[in-house]
Amino acid sequence: MNQMILEYAITGVENKISELEKTISKGERYLSDIKLGNKVRTEKTADEISHVIIKTKGKIEELTNFHFDLVWKLSVGVDE
């Protein structure tokens, strides 16, 4: 049972990381478009977009560490 919970949690963390990576990609596209003078579909400034990217990268780093811990627990059979 605990193994199933860990596997489910790992999948959830992987999905969240994927979503956050898409957010970063979208933000980087917006910054590129702003730099080129193209119109973007957001009310945020370039600085605000940059801040969101930095904040999101931090979240990804935290989730990556958490993912590593979950995978480790699954591999050694540690349940908390």
Give residue 78's pLDDT.
Answer: 60
- The ranges assigned to domains in the chain are 2-76
Q: Is the pLDDT of residue 33 over 70?
A: yes
Per cent of the chain over pLDDT 70 is 95
pTM, rounded to two decimals: 0.87
Q: Is the pLDDT of residue 79 over 90?
A: no
Collapsed DSSP state (helix, strand, coil) of residue 54: helix
Smallest Cα–Cα separation from 22: which of 59, 48, 47? 59
